[in-house]
Chain A
């Protein structure tokens, strides 16, 4: 009697666990994000009043305005991180996203200056990014070159291309036709945030609701098994690098819209590292096959919250780098510890 109820309970627990597993996996870093927010609210409040009892009320971090700034700061990284999630889910990496962002921004601003063709500026940014991403994908999928090396090369080459496009100068356009996406709002929500969120939702739909998404997870889980089960692995790889390039192009348009300008040298420097950090913070496995786009969103928000919070609390630029680095490593270590045995790294 006792034993059987015990078994029933265990079974029920097991079922419970199984059903909630995906939720727990996506929740992964959410607690870390919330704790960081609470911490910054308290610290900024304490810095204001030097009094713990009033720290929460007088904190400057959790204001509507500041949260909106954080969301805007996170938006470009979220878009790049979404593309990076596709790539890392297949077990690859894309180091060229920052350079592609810069090149696309240069293309967009340059074309917007051409009389009569300025309406093409935004599509041109997307197309430019897509083409560069497909170049990466082609080399990786069909010539079977290692993704790290291909995108390391294109990171450098495309950076040069971006500088070449504007003769190594900054190009301005005060009448940028798509500037509203960088500075405007819709229903009081900044366009940047709307675009980032839409990117995440569409990426989620592709990954979780389409055959292609299933194939992406399969290729990441085991490329050999994927091939043997009739999946066209090269096309899947071409697709994910294409997506990463396309979203880098979108990121380029977003950057250009914010600045009314683009600069091939400075724009998007080391953005690839932030995008990778967001994906990893989001719990996506570096060897592929495991992970979710919602995790990436949370990862991007954590990075943005950290940057914003450290600025608000007056931590120097140098220490911001050191603290960010340790938080990334610590958060991932915590995650691995929590999932020990269940997931691969």
Chain B
């Protein structure tokens, strides 16, 4: 505590009222963020929370809306572009490294600021001077390679070090690191952390973005959490439990949420869907689940836990390496989405613009595209009367706001687009409905309509699986919740035998450190916190 106070001489970077709108979408709304000299400041939030947008604004890659204020060292600055950001001492170490692999380390460090020869050699590159200049920085960072090595011969960790060297060498004051450890081994991560701490002690301000809770606790002094493009709070990392951070990330306003009508404990019918040992040799490891009639089953988990991947395996969208899917007790061979549809399993994608809707087609065609071949006359002619009836009925049933069913689906709002996609699935009479983030990018009104729809479907006997990153949503609508972590189903809540579905219980499973992936010796602070939190 006292150490932090000593170091924080006042923020070197201060961002106030940062807003950014892309078309109709508000990516950031009055966000604030500040970093002090000699501080490692973690920035956290789920995907789509606005972390990268905020950092892109700081790096000058995109411009914020009017009214946003950025000041560096106490003076207001205009971030007019990447060059301006660099000149102000801001450097970004990107996830995908931005080095030229065909050039040498020294050339990369001096990229854009190359040294030119003097006298007769004017205009020519002065390689010797560049190598000498780089060698000094590399020595400071403890690099094990030389400045004349080719970048393509280096490991990923070494390349990252070159990026850091470049930032340090250009006298950057603020270093932004976006998920720097995703591709590193444990040893490399340790070394990187040593370097980051050393840089902090030299007075650099470091913004550290990561999804890994352990790293946040091991490294950062303070943490700022964003959610849905808004600022949730900034706290000293060691004064807050991982549980609390997760709750800040996923939202806590349970009271405003929808409460389900149906009671699965009374209705719960026979099992419909049974998935056993589903794996894909990459992200999903040995997942089994059972879904009953009338049941809404939630799947919780942080980004990258493998929820979408599991759903896509069940639906046959990706190839599984092991596992089986049975519907009504009969094992089905599901190799393609068409097989799944025929077995009565339907999947609502989380990415409706890219993987769901046909934006250039009419609302009517989007609703009917799945069922068109079932309705066809004379073995392949479109049945226009039937499709008009179906789309009119769907528009009425789901209260889709359209000017005409012939209008393009791309012109609709997010909520109405989602309803169109949902009605496409419902036309196919699903037995099992897997909804992946069914309310993402959907306004509040349409959200509660979708919750009511899910409720109705469950009452009609359909088994519904809901994947969601919003815990309150899962708590509000699900009868049972499975929690996924690192490709496995790590726990189950609700139902007749398990602990109750609530925020604390879910967060506990989400953050629980299993022995295999978080060794004791590596994260002393983290394990301390665990015991303190419980």
Measured CA separation A65–B58 after assembly (Å): 69
Asked if B355 contacts A225 (CB within 8 A), the reply is yes
A63 CB within 8 Å of chain B = no
Whether the pair B361, A210 counts as a contact (CB closer than 8 A) is no
A225 touching B338 by the CB < 8 A rule? no
By a CB distance below 8 angstroms, the chain A residues around B373 are 211
Contact of A214 with B372 in the complex, beta carbons under 8 Å: yes
Given A209-B382, A211-B376, A222 contacting B358 (CB threshold 8 A): yes
> Does B406 sit within 8 A of A, measured CB to CB?
yes
Most chain A C-beta atoms within 10 Å of own C-beta, residue among B347, B381, B424, B428: B381
Q: A18-B406, A211-B372, A211-B382 are in contact. Are A227 and B361 (CB under 8 A)?
A: no
- Whether A225 contacts B357 by the Cβ 8 Å rule is yes
CB contacts (< 8 Å) of A285 on chain B: these are 360
> Contact residue range for chain A?
20 to 34
* Segment 219-274 of B: residues with Cβ below 8 Å from A: none
**Number of A-B pairs, beta carbon distance below 8 Å:** 86
Contact between chains at B370 and A224 (CB < 8 Å): no
Within 8 A of A (CB), among B352-411: 354-361, 365, 368-370, 372-373, 376, 380-382, 403-404, 406-407
In the assembled complex, the CB of A222 is this many whole angstroms from the nearest CB of chain B, namely 6
Q: Are the C-beta atoms of B355 and A11 separated by less than 8 Å? A: no
Contact residues in B for A229 (Cβ distance below 8 Å): 337, 369-370, 424
| A269 → B minimal CB distance (Å) | 34
Q: Is B502 an interface residue (CB 8 A)?
A: no
For A222, list chain B residues within 8 Å (CB).
354-355, 357-359
Say which residue of B317, B365, B376, B403 sits within 8 Å of A227 (CB atoms): B317
* Contact A212:B359 (CB < 8 A) given known A15-B403, A19-B404, A225-B354: no
Task: Choose one: B315, B337, B360, B376; the contact of A344 (CB below 8 Å).
Answer: B360
Query: Which of A211, A212, A214, A228 sits near B317, CB closer than 8 Å?
Result: A228
- Pairwise interchain contact B355-A209, C-beta atoms closer than 8 A: no
* Alpha-carbon distance between A226 and B361 when the two chains are bound, in angstroms: 12
Q: Give chain B's interface secondary structure class.
A: loop
Determine if A218 is an interface residue (Cβ-Cβ < 8 Å): yes
| Distance between Cα atoms of A282 and B360 in the complex (Å) | 17
Contact A11 B349 (CB under 8 A): no
Interface bin, chain B: 20 to 34
B171 lies within 8 A of chain A by Cβ: no
B355 proximity list for chain A (CB < 8 A)? 222, 224-225, 228
Contact between A212 and B380 (Cβ–Cβ < 8 Å)?
yes
B-contact bits for A138-163, CB 8 A (1 contact / 0 none): 00000000000000000000000000
A228 to B318, CA, bound (A): 10
- A210 CA to B383 CA in the complex, in Å? 8
- Complex alpha-carbon distance, A6 and B359, angstroms: 29
Interface membership of A221, Cβ < 8 A: yes
Q: Is B324 an interface residue (CB 8 A)?
A: no
Q: Is A338 an interface position by the 8 A CB rule?
A: no
List, in ascending order, chain B residues with CB within 8 A of A344's CB: 360
CA distance A14 to B406 in the complex (A): 12
> Which A residues, 180 to 213, have Cβ-Cβ distances below 8 Å to chain B?
209-213
The distance in angstroms between the C-alpha atoms of A217 and B406, with both chains bound, is 15
A31 at interface by CB-CB < 8 Å: no
Asked if A116 is an interface residue, CB under 8 A from chain B, the answer is no
Is B313 engaged at the interface, CB distance under 8 Å to the other chain?
Answer: no
- A213–B407 Cα distance when bound, in Å, is 19
Q: Which of A14, A226, A228 has the most CB of B within 10 A?
A: A228
A249 within 8 Å of B by Cβ? no
Q: Which residues of A contact B407 (CB under 8 A)?
A: 18
- Taking a contact as CB atoms under 8 Å apart, the answer to whether A227 and B336 are in contact is yes
Report A-chain residues with C-beta under 8 Å of the C-beta of B372: 211, 214-215
Chain A residue nearest to B383 in the complex (CB) = A211
What residue in chain A is nearest B347 (Cβ atoms)?
A228
The docked-state distance in angstroms from the alpha carbon of A168 to that of B36 is 80
In the complex, B341 has a CB within 8 A of chain A:
yes
A148 to chain B, nearest CB (A): 22
Tell me whether A289 is interfacial, beta carbon within 8 Å.
yes
Query: Which of A11, A19, A210, A343 touches B382 (beta carbons < 8 Å)?
Result: A210
A19 with B406: CB separation less than 8 A: yes
A230 at the interface (CB under 8 A from B): yes
Q: Min CB distance, A207 to chain B, in Å?
A: 11
Task: Tell me how far the C-beta of B404 lies from the nearest C-beta in chain A, rounded to whole angstroms.
Answer: 5
Residue from the list A210, A218, A289, A290 in contact with B369, Cβ < 8 A: A218
Knowing A11-B403, A211-B372 touch, does A230 contact B338 (C-beta < 8 A)?
Answer: yes
Chain B residues lying within 8 Å of A230, measured Cβ to Cβ, are 337-338, 341, 370, 428
Are B381 and A218 touching (Cβ within 8 A)? no
Task: Output the nearest chain A residue to B349 by Cβ-Cβ distance.
Answer: A228
Q: Give the residues in chain A near B361, CB-CB below 8 Å.
A: 217-218, 221, 289
| In the assembled complex, A232 has its CB within 8 A of some CB on chain B | yes
Report how far A297 CA is from B421 CA in the complex, Å: 34
Tell me whether B337 and A227 are in contact (CB under 8 A). yes
Indicate with 1 or 0, residue by residue over B339-357, a CB within 8 angstroms of chain A CB atoms.
Answer: 0010000010100001111
Within 8 A of A (CB), among B280-338: 315, 317, 336-338
- Shortest Cβ distance from A291 into B: residue: B360
A15 to B337, CA, bound (A): 36
Nearest chain B CB to A239 CB, angstrom units: 12
Q: What is the chain A residue whose CB lies nearest that of B384?
A: A209
CB distance from A282 to the nearest CB of B (A): 16
Q: Which one of B336, B360, B370, B373 has the greatest number of beta carbons of chain A within 10 Å?
A: B360
User: Closest approach, in angstroms, between the C-beta of A217 and any C-beta of chain B?
Assistant: 6
Determine the distance from Cα of A19 to Cα of B416 in the docked complex, in whole angstroms: 20
Q: A226 to chain B: which residues have CB within 8 Å?
A: 358
Nearest CB of A to B220, in Å: 38
List chain A residues, Cβ under 8 A from B358.
217-218, 221-222, 225-226, 289
Cβ–Cβ < 8 Å partners of A221 in chain B: 358-361
Q: List residues of A (298-345) whose CB comes within 8 Å of B's CBs.
A: 343-344
When distances are taken between beta carbons in the complex, the residues of chain A under 8 Å from B337 are: 227-230
A15, A210, A226 — most chain B CB neighbours (10 Å): A210
Partner of B403, one of A14, A210, A232: A14
Give the docked Cα–Cα distance between A228 and B404 (Å): 26
In the docked arrangement, what's the CA distance between A228 and B356, Å?
Answer: 7
Q: Which of these, B315, B349, B404, contacts A18 with CB under 8 Å?
A: B404
Minimum CB–CB distance for A327 against chain B, Å = 27
CA distance A344 to B360 in the complex (A): 9
Cα-based distance from A217 to B358 in the complex (angstroms): 9
A-B contact pairs, 9 of them (CB 8 A): A18-B404, A19-B404, A211-B382, A214-B365, A225-B349, A226-B358, A228-B337, A231-B338, A343-B360
15 extra A-B contacts, CB within 8 A, seeds A15-B404, A227-B317, A227-B336: A14-B403, A210-B382, A212-B380, A214-B372, A214-B382, A215-B372, A217-B360, A217-B365, A221-B359, A221-B361, A222-B354, A222-B357, A224-B354, A229-B337, A343-B360
Give the interface of A toward B (CB within 8 A).
11, 14-15, 18-19, 209-215, 217-218, 221-222, 224-232, 285, 289-290, 343-344
The list of the 8 closest CB pairs from A to B, nearest first, reads A221-B358, A230-B341, A230-B338, A211-B372, A289-B360, A211-B373, A211-B376, A210-B380
